[in-house]
A and B are shown apart, each in its own frame.
Chain A
Amino acid sequence: MSVDINITVIDREGTEHKFSVPTDMNLNLMEVCKGYELPVEGICGGMAMCASCQVYILTDEHFGERNDDEEAMLDEAYFVERNSRLGCQIPITPGLEGVKVRLAPEAP
């Protein structure tokens, strides 16, 4: 049976958005943000090529493992912090229940 999880996204103005998101839709965090019309561009369509979906993970237990493509992109992106991840590389799974992220600033 599918479960919905609760996630919190803080936008670039500091406003908190709470969403209940299904885990059986094969979604990733970038797509969720876009779906709720947050200002996340996702230019490359989820191939870890543009970093326009960069987020900071604010709940340590949800940091997960960056994959190689993601690591490579974050090596070159702007405003990268220790807790940076690419939203497009974070699948929405039950393990993300309660995750809180903040959108990284827009790249120049």
Chain B
Amino acid sequence: MIKTDIIIIGAGPVGLFAIFEAGLMKLRCHLIDAIPQPGGQLSEIYPKKPIYDIPGYPSVLAGELVDKLMEQAAPFKPGFTLGERADSIEKQEDGSFVVTTNKGTPHHAPVVMIAGGLGSFEPRKPLIANIGDFEDKGVRYIVKDPDQFEGIDMVISGGGDSALDWAIYFAEKGSFVHLVHRSDRFRAHKDSVSRAHELAAEGKMKLHTFAEVKELKGADSLNAVVIHNKEEQTTVATDLWFPLFGLSPKLGPIGDWGLDIEKNAIVVDTFDYQTNRPGIFAIGDVNTYPGKLKLILCGFHEATLAVQTAYKIINPDKKFTLKYTTVQGVQGFEEQQQKQTVK
């Protein structure tokens, strides 16, 4: 069990800054993020985009800001569980919480701060009524362990890099690939597009343009898909379909944690950004309140106020008065204090 003072869900800019503010109050943090690297959207989606509204930085690249926040948080020796999504939360008898990830890793702390941003990114699923019947029984939204599919004939849908790259990969490994795309423009890399056309000419791939998979057939598992284009419907016998339509942000399992939700965001009290469940806070883009602005700098403010109440929850008998870093400097923690024990 990983034990800490504050479990922070989401390692984006606001979660990272919360480590610093908590650290000033001698509170330790452990972060959980579904993405295998810290930085959230800033690292994953727009690392090379400049941000202009961070006070003191006329312009800073998103990726650089993440590096700086990591550096600022480093003295406080945060722990990280990356590449795992926080799935469930259980309140303990003493009021503390155990947060468990999709991989079963438990984390224990008296305070939980949700800094989940847009939520977790999940595959965009095609709108086909019976698609749920075939998930993992022929329909796969992510290509994991590609070795197992090499040489198997398949259908891949999508027009982006991912769809094209995998279509080429499998066609070169001896699979016959039907690549289905809604238009005739592939916005993947030019080399990939010409390679796909070559493979099609060699008879290793068939390109279906202005086409969509609209029906799935099979009893226990997938055995055919029906591809519709403008003129006709083609039934392709296959037991493997990869719809690769990118990822879309979803609040995900946090939506079922008994928190007040409004317009896909968690409702908080602006006094301390606590949710309707005492001890659980929500800071940054994931929360909402009257006058909410989804700005990194507002998230920093929210994190700072939230840790004040967190301190009182964790140290009910101690008084804490604000000390300026100009007076005290930053006193980090000696070593990583991860009490990792087997459950």
Q: How many A-B residue pairs have CB under 8 A?
A: 39
Partner of B160, one of A76, A107, A108: A76
Partner of A49, one of B45, B245, B264: B45
Bound-complex Cα distance A68 to B159 (A): 13
Chain A residue total in the interface (Cβ 8 A): 18
Instruction: Say yes or no for B187: interface residue by CB 8 A criterion.
Output: yes
Chain B residues closer than 8 Å to A51, beta-carbon distance? 248
Report A38-77 CB contacts with B as 1/0, cut-off 8 Å: 0001011101011100000000000000001001100111
Partner of A75, one of B127, B187, B294: B187
Known A41-B263, A44-B118: A76·B245 in contact at CB below 8 Å: yes
Known A44-B118, A47-B45: A71·B248 in contact at CB below 8 Å: no
Known A43-B118, A43-B249, A45-B294: A75·B264 in contact at CB below 8 Å: no
- Which partner residue on chain A sits nearest B244 by CB separation? A76
Partner of B182, one of A44, A75, A107, A108: A75
Report A71-108 CB contacts with B as 1/0, cut-off 8 Å: 11001111010000000000000000000000000011
CB distance from A107 to the nearest CB of B (A): 7
Q: Are A50 and B248 in contact (CB under 8 A)?
A: yes
Q: Are B187 and A76 in contact (CB under 8 A)?
A: no
- Which partner residue on chain A sits nearest B49 by CB separation? A47
Q: Are B46 and A47 in contact (CB under 8 A)?
A: yes
Instruction: Say yes or no for B195: interface residue by CB 8 A criterion.
Output: no
Q: Are A76 and B45 in contact (CB under 8 A)?
A: no
Chain B residues closer than 8 Å to A80, beta-carbon distance? 182
Q: Are B160 and A75 in contact (CB under 8 A)?
A: yes
- Which partner residue on chain B sits nearest A68 by CB separation? B187
- Which partner residue on chain A sits nearest B188 by CB separation? A72
Q: Are B248 and A75 in contact (CB under 8 A)?
A: no
Q: Are B264 and A41 in contact (CB under 8 A)?
A: yes
Instruction: Say yes or no for B124: interface residue by CB 8 A criterion.
Output: yes
CB distance from A44 to the nearest CB of B (A): 7
Q: Are B127 and A78 in contact (CB under 8 A)?
A: yes
Chain B residues closer than 8 Å to A78, beta-carbon distance? 124, 127
Q: Are B249 and A76 in contact (CB under 8 A)?
A: no
Max chain B Cβ within 10 angstroms of own Cβ: one of A44, A75, A78: A75
Q: Are B187 and A71 in contact (CB under 8 A)?
A: yes
Report B221-251 CB contacts with A as 1/0, cut-off 8 Å: 0000000000000000000000001101100
Instruction: Say yes or no for B183: interface residue by CB 8 A criterion.
Output: yes
Chain A residues closer than 8 Å to B125, beta-carbon distance? 108
Known A47-B46, A49-B45, A50-B248: A76·B124 in contact at CB below 8 Å: yes
Bound-complex Cα distance A49 to B10 (A): 19
Q: Are A50 and B187 in contact (CB under 8 A)?
A: no
Report B116-149 CB contacts with A as 1/0, cut-off 8 Å: 0010000011010000000000000000000000
Bound-complex Cα distance A41 to B185 (A): 28
Bound-complex Cα distance A68 to B245 (A): 16
CB distance from B327 to the nearest CB of A (A): 37
- Which partner residue on chain A sits nearest B294 by CB separation? A45
Which A residues between 7 and 31 are near B, CB-CB below 8 angstroms?
Answer: none
Q: Are B183 and A75 in contact (CB under 8 A)?
A: yes
Instruction: Say yes or no for B158: interface residue by CB 8 A criterion.
Output: yes
- Which partner residue on chain B sits nearest A79 by CB separation? B127
CB distance from B244 to the nearest CB of A (A): 9
Bound-complex Cα distance A36 to B248 (A): 25
Q: Are B264 and A72 in contact (CB under 8 A)?
A: no
Bound-complex Cα distance A49 to B245 (A): 12
Chain A residues closer than 8 Å to B185, beta-carbon distance? 71
For the complex with contacts A43-B118, A72-B160, A77-B124, 5 further pairs of A-B residues with Cβ separation under 8 Å are: A43-B264, A44-B118, A47-B45, A76-B160, A76-B246
The 4 closest A-B pairs by CB, nearest first: A76-B246, A76-B245, A75-B159, A72-B187
Q: What are 26 inter-chain pairs, A to B, with CB distance below 8 A? A: A43-B249, A44-B118, A49-B45, A50-B118, A50-B248, A50-B249, A51-B248, A68-B187, A71-B185, A71-B187, A72-B187, A75-B158, A75-B159, A75-B160, A75-B181, A75-B183, A75-B187, A76-B124, A76-B160, A76-B245, A76-B246, A77-B124, A78-B124, A78-B127, A80-B182, A107-B248
